[in-house]
Amino acid sequence: MQRTEDGQTVRLVDYRPTDFVLLGVAMTLKLFEGRAEVLARLSLERRPGVSANAPLHLDGDELVLESLVLDGAPLAPETYEATPDRLMVRGLPESGRFELAVETRIAPEANSKLMGLFRSNGIWCTQCEAEGFRRITYFLDRPDVLAPYRVRIEADKAAAPVLLGNGNPVDSGELADGRHYAVWDDPFNKPSYLFAVVAGDLDLLADEFVTMSGRKVTLGIYTEKGRSEQAGYAMDALKRSMAWDERRFGREYDLDVFNVVAIADFNMGAMENKGLNVFNHKYVLLDPDIATDTDYAGVETVIAHEYFHNWTGNRITCRDWFQLCLKEGLTVFRDQEFSADERERTVQRIGSVRRLKAHQFPEDQGPLQHPVRPAEYREINNFYTATVYDKGAELVRMIATIVGPQDFRKGMDLYFERHDGEAATIEDFITCFEDAAKTDLSQFALWYAQAGTPTLTVTESWDAKARRHEVTLRQSLARGTAGTGLEPMVLPVRFGLVGGNGEDSVADGQVAGSAKLKDDLIVLTGREATITFNDLPDRPYLSILRDFSAPVTLDHEQSEAARLALARLDPNLFNRWRALDDLVAEAMTTAAKRAPGDTSPALKPVVIEALIALAGDDGLDPAFRAQGLALPGESDIARQIAENVDPDRVHEVVDAARAAIGTAGHAVLERLRDEFASSKEFSPDAASAGRRALSNAALGYISAATRDPGPAIAQYQSATNMTDRSAALAILAHRFPGDPQTERALDDFYRRYEADDLVLDKWFTLQATAPAHDTLETVKRLAAHPRFTMRNPNRVRALVGAFAAANQVAFHRADGAGYEWVAEKLVALDGINPQVSARTATTFRAWRSFEPGRRAKLEQTLRQVSETKGLSKDLQDIVDRSLK
Ligand code: ARG
Ligand code: ZN
């Protein structure tokens, strides 16, 4: 296990512990312009029972070995073999502790992959998850090798006045030649992927937090010069996260310091290194002029997520990378719960479900399908997916639903108690809930092994004479590319029988088939079960799968009248939203399947009325009403059509529906727009954000209906915050592309925010996502813009990523020119940053679902990329699996 050279597959079943046990690490990193010297002293011991002549194998990646010393004596060249990818040492002591001192030399400036030690705007920074530590020194670079680390960093004092490491600072001082050093000590055993070092000229926002047992923790957020004021909201979110984890899970922070560093060049959102989180600065830096409400919510979530990893990920880590969902699914669940408590639960749940459907469902239903716990991989970086993260979180949520809140907390307590300091597995995790709730979760564990989205089919039959309602639930799982099992799983289905008065009837049900019924929860365990409810006053409206209690495709034939009733009456707010969302999505899907040129409206007047009624209902939270107005996206509709998709047709339908809603709802929408428009004082709280969302949604519809850019221009000019300004600019760029007023607004935006890379990313994205065929010419022009660079992942995502993922019309241009352009960028990018190229390439995965012309062109493009010589393992893996 753990040999991951090109083409090799790593398998879960091959897991075995290392031959050598790591007892401690002492490192010195000397940073210079153009190079870094790394000395790692590893305390090791042969594992009892391991053969006396077994050599030590250490992982490397692009390393140069400078020296190798065993217990103070240089090793003879014939006792070891070093290549850039590995170090093998023979003749090590049969028993007892020994020290191997490994000296390597690396080039952070040349590291464009942003894995290992690299430089971002002059700042030295590391990213080690998953396998980046082996790019710093030869190591047992796998998550089940845990040790305490003591790290000394040396650098030029002017270039890097700030020197940060994991754990607590224990020493610092001056050196000759204007250099200085700092020593950091991390007493907690940790795997190498949580190692971090940062050095540079950074500003600090300092604060403190007193833990529940009264310990004072020094908090620091480090930013590039002049930007620490923009970290205020992140700091606030951090303190709220710390307090929440104490309240909700009894988890207290464990070191004397907690530092966060914001970096401009970063492959992912952020990283939970012990005591030293490193963030993409997009998830730290904010103020009302540069950031939208969505950005604020993103910072809050990511800050919380990384902080929560301190217990779920760091104190208890993963035995191997197959267990990635053990920390990621659980931590996403925790950050979702935090946001639900801090903001509004239903609105947050709608957001999470939208995300799941937009990102995880297509993954689970296409060629990149894999179980939440994969059984094999060629490149682990390609498994930081929506399935591992978001479906992983749904599995934890289902466990909580099945065992109930008390036993869920008991199970979590047990997990922390039993496995603190360990590298654990999914089995360990599940066992804790089995023990806490005294229940058998072995069938539930199938969720971790079987890929695919189950379909839950619901049928109803009402017997008016007997006043009896029968509800039948069936589950099925289609064979997908992962080829995993198709056994029935455990589906927790929350429900209610809603009466005409908007109240749930309390009815006892009799179960026939494999299911359990308790209160408002049916747990379906077999392929089918029928529940009979007796003595009902009237035919109830069945509100099924409340709060999306299981990640399934719901197939429920329900009359339009029943759905409209639920959209008005359902006491479960989530299902009120879903009743309408399903109606709209189905109508649009049906319309998009009709022949091109068929312009009969997608949405019936009653549906539009219901939508407007919900949006206009002052008894409801504005954020919820804004969710009601957000139409399903074009890619959601495309996914539901599933075959022979014509993206132009889908766009036409969505566009027409938007205009129809705008026209029919004009009076209400005008009122919402005015009533909920921003007040001068900006506050990022959820309620204020919800009001802005509602007002801006209304403006979108009004603009679509009137075909008049005037109101958006006016809002663009008078806006006092980025939420309103970018919402207006998006309407202009997407509804009025090419209009001279749009061009002027885009130019103005550029000039206003030219100095700020994060806002410039928005400028690139707004243009790249304009739904028009000639957007391809725009993105070609933007790729030649002096501010475009392939070296900054955010910028690549803002232009190439956004175009490929969020522009169904231009990316999927029938002539295939969109595919060609993205493919060309992918290959160029791959030589710089394979992780980002591989991620971008996933936008091709749905190729089989398109109409024959596009399908052929997509396939041809994928094949061309796949046959390109010298592709990274990352990109090769994605394109090969996509073609599967
Ligand atoms: N553990 C990080 C997080 O979710 C993600 C880091 C992933 N990095 C990578 N190179 N795949 O919080
Ligand atoms: Zn995470």
Q: Record the tokens describing residue 56, joined without a space.
A: 């030590």
Q: Record the tokens describing residue 471, joined without a space.
A: 């509800």
Report the side by side order of strands in the sheet with 270-271. Answer: 203-210, 216-223, 257-263, 276-280, 270-271
What's the pTM? 0.98
Q: Hey, whose CA ends up nearest to atom 5 of ligand 1?
A: 271
pLDDT tier at 595, thresholds 50, 70, 90: confident
Mean pLDDT for all residues in the chain: 97
Q: Given the residues 103, 154, 272, 306, select the one marked as catalytic.
A: 306
Q: Which of 129, 299, 325 to mutate to test the pocket of ligand 1 (most atoms within 8 A of CB)?
A: 129
Residue 182 β-bridge partners: 153, 172
Query: What domains are there in the chain, each with its CATH number?
Result: 317-449 (1.10.390.10), 455-488+490-549 (2.60.40.1840), 558-707 (1.25.50.10), 754-884 (1.25.50.10)
> For ligand 1, is residue 877 a contact (CB within 6 Å)?
no
pLDDT tens string 267-280: 999 999 999 999 99
User: Which whole-number Å values give the CA distances from 108 to 118, 150, 266, 382, 606, in the listed order?
Assistant: 4, 21, 14, 23, 62
Q: What is the pLDDT of residue 7?
A: 60
For the cut 90, the answer to whether the pLDDT of residue 728 exceeds it is yes
Report the separation in Å between the CA atom of 384 and the middle of ligand 1, taken as the mean of its atom positions. Answer: 7
CB-neighbour burial class of residue 556 (10 A; exposed 0-12, middle 13-18, buried 19+): middle
Contact 748, 712 (CB under 8 A): no
pLDDT > 90 in the chain, percent: 98
Average pLDDT over residues 699-718: 98
Average pLDDT over residues 39-44: 98
Contact 477, 540 (CB under 8 A): no
Query: Tell me, what's the ipTM?
Result: 0.98
Q: What is the pLDDT of residue 513?
A: 97
Q: Record the tokens describing residue 689, joined without a space.
A: 């954000």
Q: Hey, whose CA ends up nearest to atom 1 of ligand 1?
A: 271
For the cut 90, the answer to whether the pLDDT of residue 252 exceeds it is yes
- Rg of the chain (C-alpha set): 28
Report the separation in Å between the CA atom of 193 and the middle of ligand 2, taken as the mean of its atom positions. Answer: 12
Give me the helix-helix angle, 740-753 and 710-718, nearest 10°: 10
> For ligand 1, is residue 272 a contact (CB within 6 Å)?
yes
Atom of ligand 1 nearest to the CA of 328: 4
For the cut 60, the answer to whether the pLDDT of residue 6 exceeds it is no
Residue whose C-alpha is closest to residue 167's, from 154, 183, 153:
183
For the cut 70, the answer to whether the pLDDT of residue 4 exceeds it is no
Contact 716, 647 (CB under 8 A): no
Phi-psi region of 692 (alpha: psi -120 to 50; beta: other; left: phi over 0): alpha
3-state secondary structure at position 70: strand
> For ligand 1, is residue 588 a contact (CB within 6 Å)?
no
Q: Hey, whose CA ends up nearest to atom 7 of ligand 1?
A: 129
The DSSP line for 158-185 is TT-SEEEESSEEEEEEE-STTEEEEEEE
pLDDT tens string 732-756: 999 999 999 999 999 999 999 999 9
Atom of ligand 1 nearest to the CA of 115: 10
Burial 389-423 (b: 16+ CB within 10 A, else e): bbbbbbbbbbbbbbbeeebbbbbbebbbeebeebb
pLDDT tens string 512-566: 999 999 999 999 999 999 999 999 999 999 999 999 999 999 999 999 999 999 9
> For ligand 1, is residue 130 a contact (CB within 6 Å)?
yes
Single-letter code of the amino acid located at 167: G
pLDDT tens string 99-152: 999 999 999 999 999 999 999 999 999 999 999 999 999 999 999 999 999 999
Report the separation in Å between the CA atom of 266 and the middle of ligand 1, taken as the mean of its atom positions. Answer: 10
> For ligand 1, is residue 328 a contact (CB within 6 Å)?
yes
Q: What is the pLDDT of residue 365?
A: 96
Strands, E assignment, 33-157? 35-46, 56-59, 64-70, 73-74, 80-83, 86-89, 97-106, 116-120, 123-127, 147-156
pLDDT tens string 627-678: 999 999 999 999 999 999 999 999 999 999 999 999 999 999 999 999 999 8
Q: What is the pLDDT of residue 872?
A: 98
Report the separation in Å between the CA atom of 304 and the middle of ligand 2, taken as the mean of its atom positions. Answer: 10
> For ligand 1, is residue 129 a contact (CB within 6 Å)?
yes
For the cut 90, the answer to whether the pLDDT of residue 1 exceeds it is no
Q: From the CB of residue 219, how many other CB atoms can be counted at a distance below 10 Å? A: 18
For the cut 90, the answer to whether the pLDDT of residue 679 exceeds it is no
> Where do we find the tokens 């839950």?
456
> For ligand 1, is residue 267 a contact (CB within 6 Å)?
yes
pLDDT tier at 2, thresholds 50, 70, 90: very low
CB-neighbour burial class of residue 193 (10 A; exposed 0-12, middle 13-18, buried 19+): buried
Atom of ligand 1 nearest to the CA of 835: 10
Q: Which of 384, 389, 835, 873 to mutate to test the pocket of ligand 1 (most atoms within 8 A of CB)?
A: 384
> For ligand 1, is residue 306 a contact (CB within 6 Å)?
yes
Q: Is 94 a catalytic residue?
A: no
Burial 712-748 (b: 16+ CB within 10 A, else e): bbebbeebebbbbbbbbbbbbbbbbbeeeebeebbee
In which element (H, E) is residue 205 found?
strand 203-210
Contact 375, 12 (CB under 8 A): yes
The DSSP line for 407-466 is HHHHHHHHHHHHHTTSEE-HHHHHHHHHHHHT---TTTTHHHH--S--EEEEEEEEETTT
pLDDT tens string 269-321: 999 999 999 999 999 999 999 999 999 999 999 999 999 999 999 999 999 99
Q: Record the tokens describing residue 179, joined without a space.
A: 């250099």
Ligand (nearest to CA of 326): 2
Report the separation in Å between the CA atom of 254 and the middle of ligand 2, taken as the mean of its atom positions. Answer: 19
pLDDT tens string 572-594: 999 999 999 999 999 999 999 99
For the cut 90, the answer to whether the pLDDT of residue 438 exceeds it is yes
